[in-house]
């Protein structure tokens, strides 16, 4: 009898343990009556479908998500290929989601983590829309040769970026134990401009990791974050060594051009050249290319070359811009934006940044050389 009681108790405990490893989700999708809602999990670097829920005649779909660990996990509800809701679920959660089929109007209850994640995403979407609108206006100003207006719009873009970055850091500090902070670290404005790609941003990532690791030391997301932090630390140390080194010679780069051909910076050895880091996301930098083209035409007969590295994540947009502007020099991009090894190797924190080298490979100037007279003076020194 005693043995039977113990076995029964063990069975009940096993059931309870299984239930605790589940999260219950109720999704009401406006316009999704009797349709399927896919539940996908972010498995660090890829999406993995874990369940498919069938909505009833009122568009209500219910399900329980089994979890292999006690730590929070990132999940997405997907309808007809559209992500309608982003969730952070942990065992025992009971979450209610209301959304339309496009994921435009979403309300979430029962998960503070998911609500904060939604706040991050809404803020980013609003900033990205404003950033895109300003970028279009600035591009139009550049095309109309309205230089002062373009510079003013560029300043507005910079202020918008800085303000969003500051607001995001504030939210991270106010919610130190939220898993939503992990995704916040990897935000990109308008899918092109990383919010946290500066050299020392790994310190913020370290703070996020350490706050969460106390409670969830075995989380796969935190292990991945720590791997990224170590890479950034190593890159920062390398960049620091380079910045303190004597300004002679130059680290080699091997990057793909618009035809996917790998081009070495070392191929310019023995020639005076400009190494420039830039982005197509700022029209003022595209406008500066016109000045640079004139200087390139003037001094190319003296052997001047340009190796221009794009800090953009969208390689297609970059290649299109290069072709539209008919840039005559070497244009390369690896699509890794601020985490590009090229930017790390040369300790580039902001763009545009230029390095001017003479025929001996000695650096004669570096920095934001967008003042034409200043850049031309450096070129003259390099080609003599």
pLDDT per position as a tens digit, 151-171 = 788 788 888 988 999 999 999
Statement to judge: residues 77 and 150 lie in one domain = no
- 12 in any annotated domain: no
Count Cβ atoms below 10 Å from residue 58 Cβ, excluding itself.
Answer: 12
Short-list 114, 130, 134, 126, CA closest to 179:
114
| H/E run at residue 52 | strand 46-54
pLDDT at 250: 77
The angle, 0 to 180 degrees and rounded to 10, between the axes of the packed helices 147-174 and 283-299 is 130
Q: Tell me the pLDDT tens digit for each residue of 36-78.
A: 999 999 987 788 999 999 999 999 999 999 887 788 999 999 9
pTM for this model (two decimals): 0.62
Residue labelled with tokens 């991050």: 120
**Cα 6 to Cα 250: distance, rounded to the nearest angstrom:** 73
Q: What is the CATH number of the domain that holds 91?
A: 2.60.40.180
Residue 133's domain spans which residues?
A: 115-244
**Residues ≥6 apart with Cβ < 8 Å to 116:** 171, 175, 178, 180
Q: What's the pLDDT at 159?
A: 86
166 alpha-carbon distance from chain centroid? 16
Contact 311, 279 (CB under 8 A): yes
Q: Span 131-140, mean pLDDT?
A: 87
Q: Is residue 335 part of a domain?
A: yes
Query: How high does pLDDT run on average in the chain?
Result: 86
pLDDT, residue 236, reads 67
Q: What is the CATH number of the domain that holds 367?
A: 3.40.30.10
Q: Are residues 225 and 262 in the same domain?
A: no
Q: Is residue 359 part of a domain?
A: yes
Q: Distance between the two ends of the chain, CA-based, in angstroms? A: 100
Main-chain phi, psi angles of 138, to 5 degrees? -70, -40
Number of domains in the chain: 3
| Tokens at 235, concatenated | 């890159």
Per-residue confidence at 14, pLDDT binned at 50, 70, 90? Answer: very low
- Mean local confidence (pLDDT), 157-186: 92
350 domain-assigned: yes
The answer to whether the beta carbons of residues 275 and 366 sit under 8 Å apart is: no
Which residues are bridge partners to 52 per DSSP?
Answer: 38
pLDDT of residue 237: 66
Share of the chain above pLDDT 90, in %: 56
* Any domain includes 249: no
């Amino acid at each position: 009898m005693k043995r039977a009681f113990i076995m029964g108790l063990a069975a009940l405990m096993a059931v309870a343990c299984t239930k605790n490893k589940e999260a219950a989700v109720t999704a009401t999708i406006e316009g999704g009556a009797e349709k399927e809602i896919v539940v996908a999990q972010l498995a660090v670097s890829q999406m993995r479908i874990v369940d498919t829920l069938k909505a009833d005649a009122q568009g209500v779909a219910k399900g329980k998500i089994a979890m292999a660990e006690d730590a929070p996990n990132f999940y997405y509800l997907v309808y007809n290929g559209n992500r309608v809701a982003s969730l952070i679920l942990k065992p025992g959660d009971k979450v209610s989601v209301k959304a339309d089929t496009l994921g435009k109007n979403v309300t979430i209850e029962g998960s503070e983590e998911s609500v904060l994640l939604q706040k991050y995403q809404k803020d980013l979407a609003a900033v990205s829309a404003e950033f895109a609108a300003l970028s279009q206006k600035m591009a139009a100003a550049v095309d109309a040769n309205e230089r002062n207006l373009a510079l003013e719009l560029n300043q507005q873009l910079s202020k918008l970026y800085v303000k969003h970055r500051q607001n995001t850091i504030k939210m991270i500090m106010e919610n130190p134990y939220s898993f939503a902070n992990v995704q916040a670290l990897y935000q990109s404005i308008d899918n092109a401009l990383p919010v946290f790609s500066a050299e020392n941003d790994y310190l913020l990532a370290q703070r996020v990791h350490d706050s969460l690791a106390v409670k969830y030391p075995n989380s796969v997301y935190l292990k991945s974050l720590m791997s990224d932090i170590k890479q950034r630390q190593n890159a920062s140390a390398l960049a620091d060594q380079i910045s303190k080194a004597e300004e002679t010679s130059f680290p080699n780069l091997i990057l793909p051009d618009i035809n996917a051909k790998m081009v070495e910076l070392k191929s310019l050895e023995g020639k005076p050249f400009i190494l420039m880091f830039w982005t197509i996301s700022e029209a003022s930098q595209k406008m500066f290319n016109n000045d640079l083209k004139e200087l390139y035409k003037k001094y190319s007969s003296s052997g001047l070359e340009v190796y221009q590295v794009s800090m953009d994540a969208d390689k297609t947009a970059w290649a299109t811009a290069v072709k539209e502007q008919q840039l005559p020099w070497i244009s390369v991009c690896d699509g890794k934006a601020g985490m590009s090894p090229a930017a790390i190797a040369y300790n580039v924190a902001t763009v545009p940044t230029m390095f001017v080298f003479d025929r001996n490979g000695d650096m004669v100037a570096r920095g934001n050389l967008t003042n034409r007279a200043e850049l031309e003076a450096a070129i003259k020194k390099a080609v003599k």
